[in-house]
Structure 1
Amino acid sequence: MMLQTIPVVDLQDFRSDSPQRQQDFVLAIGAALEDIGFFAVVNHGVDSALIQSAYHVAQTFFELPEAVKRQYEDPQLNGQRGFTSFGREHAKDHPVPDLKEFWHVGRESHLPNLSPAEVAEFQLVMSELYAQLETCAASLLEACALYLGESRTLLRDLTINGDTILRVIHYPPVSIEAHPASLRSAPHEDINLITLLCEATAEGLELLQRDGTWRPIHAVEGQIIVDSGDMLQQLTNGLLKSTTHRVTNPDSDRTRRFSMPYFVHPRPEADLTPLLNCVTQTGGQATFPPITAGAYLQQRLQEIGLKGKG
């Protein structure tokens, strides 16, 4: 089995009856998010067979003709549901689009999900995966809150009825005509609180280390990769890091890649003003301005090309 390059934790430690195992888990993930902003989790409770089923239905969809896929792309949704075509999204401050296409599944209470009629099991499989990832994320957020010295439910409660999104990504083989500066996913930080990344079907994910070099993060069977996003960095006044990462292009021009990140968002009205406890731990001065999660998200959607300015 390939060894992972980031800390690996076992979620069953946090869910156990042992206070020591729970505390060790809390300290491990907190230290990882303070240091590099990433860790991997095993025994996470997300069914591995379900993950594989999700990749199967995703591949079936993305292999449909372009004209069929575009029937599920609604510009009015700003990329928040259904299909987003190849080359539409770019990283913040990066002028060249990413080499990917994707599909978004979200909470039905916010926007109705689209369902591709051509892939009968698609919506059922993705909805179940969304639900299982939500349960896993709730536990991880509880552990994060305890690490910060806050009430166990503080972060978890922020996500109730939030804009959490499951993104199903297809990175096609890289064309020889692709722009020299284009990457499958250019260097960026995630917008949200935390991201849960189901094991991808190929390598390519890397995080930027403080010395300016890139560390590969392996796609290991049975592991979910977790990273902290800009909203959590803001809320913790920079205590927990939102780390730059990218997906590199493969050596072979025939290699494709699928991945499924689950972006955990607070509800739009949630206050992201830095927590006083975290301000105290980071020097006593708030370095991030007050803002709501909704305003933060809309600003970033414009910056990455999914929402027009206006």
Structure 2
Amino acid sequence: MKVLVVDYQDPDAPAQFTESLRTTGFGVLKNHPIPQGMVESIYREWLAFFDGEAKHAYAFDRDKQDGFFSTEISETAKGHSKKDIKEYYHYYPWGRYPTEVPDTASRYYGIANQLAQELLGWVEQNTPADVKARFSMPLPQMIQDSRKTLLRVLRYPPLTGQEDPGAIRAAAHEDINLLTVLPAANEPGLQVKGTDGQWYDVPCDFGTLVINIGDMLQEASGGYYPSTTHRVINPTGEGRFKSRISLPLFLHPRDEVVLSDRYTALAYLEERLRELGVKM
């Protein structure tokens, strides 16, 4: 399995990127317009937040799904019994933002969301007509004015040696949404599962942008675009003593968007949140 690294500025980038998504579920962009300095600032600012006590004042809201999720209530991946070794903060523009943290991540949300709409347009343009006919509307329109597109600021803490046997930073899973847009993390560990059942490292040079397909796009395309299983493995060596910061933007359609004969976006999301144990 080979996830392509595509130059955003290449005239053929939309076709190359979409082909990588179709064949692997993932694509990687270099020379993209998201400022790397902004990403690095977010990593520093939020690592300080996670290292402090103020985070506990923003405990997550079970109904709205915004705020801080501690390691004790972190997700358990579908089909797994061990909680992931991670803590994270969910940010929506309408939700809470910690006063202790500069607004860099809030500003990043708008920039990344604008790029994400463009990437959905690339996919739309390079989708065969018979598959495109399944879409209830053009893909970029599905996320316009959506209140569900989520920025997750994610911290995998240093390992202590006291972790549950078999627990890893993020167990094998698929994302729920249309596309996930992810600046390369400050530490390695992201892997994708190939059709041969083997695990492969996703190219993640610092400064690149990793994009993967979620279950909603797989559903909307009738399986043409695969939501590929991926995970974040535990580090070894000196990496065990370092935090890993990650910044996925999960592109979600508006609630009423029809994905298929079986699901609206809202029905699909609520089903998956119940499976993850973060919503009753």
CA distance in structure 2 between the aligned counterparts of 1:185 and 1:98, rounded to whole angstroms: 5
Query: For the Cα contact (< 8 Å) 1:87–1:98, is it kept in 2?
Result: no
User: Deviation above 6 Å: which 4+ runs of structure 1?
Assistant: none
Query: What's the counterpart of residue 168 of structure 1?
Result: 153
Query: What's the counterpart of residue 114 of structure 1?
Result: 96
Show the 5 A alignment for 1:68-107.
Answer: 68-77=54-63, 80-88=65-73, 89-107=75-93
Say if 2:37 is the partner of 1:49.
Answer: yes
Unpaired segments ≥5 residues, structure 1? 14-20, 274-288
Say if 2:110 is the partner of 1:131.
Answer: yes
Residue identity in the other structure for 1:59: L
CA distance in structure 1 between the aligned counterparts of 2:266 and 2:45, rounded to whole angstroms: 31
Show the 5 A alignment for 1:205-224.
Answer: 205-224=190-209
The two structures have a TM-score, normalised by structure 2, of 0.92
CA distance in structure 2 between the aligned counterparts of 1:9 and 1:74, rounded to whole angstroms: 37
Q: 2:222 aligns with which of 231, 237, 244?
A: 237
CA distance in structure 2 between the aligned counterparts of 1:128 and 1:31, rounded to whole angstroms: 30
CA distance in structure 2 between the aligned counterparts of 1:107 and 1:95, rounded to whole angstroms: 32
Query: For the Cα contact (< 8 Å) 1:205–1:248, is it kept in 2?
Result: yes
Residue identity in the other structure for 1:217: V
CA distance in structure 1 between the aligned counterparts of 2:279 and 2:162, rounded to whole angstroms: 27
Residue identity in the other structure for 1:228: I
Residue identity in the other structure for 2:97: S
Query: What's the counterpart of residue 11 of structure 1?
Result: 8
Query: For the Cα contact (< 8 Å) 2:62–2:278, is it kept in 1?
Result: no
The two structures have a TM-score, normalised by structure 1, of 0.83
Secondary structure at 1:83 match in 2: strand
Secondary structure at 2:42 match in 1: helix
Q: 2:142 aligns with which of 137, 148, 158?
A: 158
Quick one: structure 1 residues 101 and 259, their matched pair in 2 at CA, closer, same or farther if it must change by over 3 Å?
same
Quick one: structure 1 residues 186 and 87, their matched pair in 2 at CA, closer, same or farther if it must change by over 3 Å?
farther
Secondary structure at 1:29 match in 2: helix
Say if 2:245 is the partner of 1:261.
Answer: no
Say if 2:103 is the partner of 1:141.
Answer: no
User: Could you list the per-position Cα deviations for residues 87-124 of structure 1 after superposition, in whole angstroms to 9, with x for gaps in the alignment?
Assistant: 4211112111000000111132xxxx2122333x1xx2
CA distance in structure 1 between the aligned counterparts of 2:98 and 2:145, rounded to whole angstroms: 25
Query: What's the counterpart of residue 278 of structure 2?
Result: 306
User: Could you list the per-position Cα deviations for residues 122-181 of structure 1 after superposition, in whole angstroms to 9, with x for gaps in the alignment?
Assistant: xx2111110111111011000100111449x81000001221101110100122111111
Residue identity in the other structure for 1:102: Y
Query: For the Cα contact (< 8 Å) 2:90–2:150, is it kept in 1?
Result: yes
Residue identity in the other structure for 1:306: V
Show the 5 A alignment for 1:58-73.
Answer: 58-65=46-53, 68-73=54-59
Query: For the Cα contact (< 8 Å) 1:189–1:245, is it kept in 2?
Result: yes
Structure 1 window deviating more from structure 2 (68-77 vs 213-222): it is 68-77
CA distance in structure 1 between the aligned counterparts of 2:16 and 2:72, rounded to whole angstroms: 38
Residue identity in the other structure for 2:120: L
Query: For the Cα contact (< 8 Å) 2:186–2:206, is it kept in 1?
Result: no
Query: For the Cα contact (< 8 Å) 1:107–1:164, is it kept in 2?
Result: no
Query: For the Cα contact (< 8 Å) 1:202–1:219, is it kept in 2?
Result: no
Residue identity in the other structure for 2:259: L
Query: For the Cα contact (< 8 Å) 2:61–2:67, is it kept in 1?
Result: no
Query: For the Cα contact (< 8 Å) 1:107–1:161, is it kept in 2?
Result: no
Query: What's the counterpart of residue 26 of structure 1?
Result: 14
Output the aligned Cα RMSD: 1.7
Q: Once the two structures are aligned, what percentage of the paired residues are identical?
A: 36
Unpaired segments ≥5 residues, structure 2? none
Q: Which has the larger radius of gyration?
A: 1
Query: For the Cα contact (< 8 Å) 1:38–1:227, is it kept in 2?
Result: yes
CA distance in structure 1 between the aligned counterparts of 2:49 and 2:212, rounded to whole angstroms: 28
Residue identity in the other structure for 1:130: Y
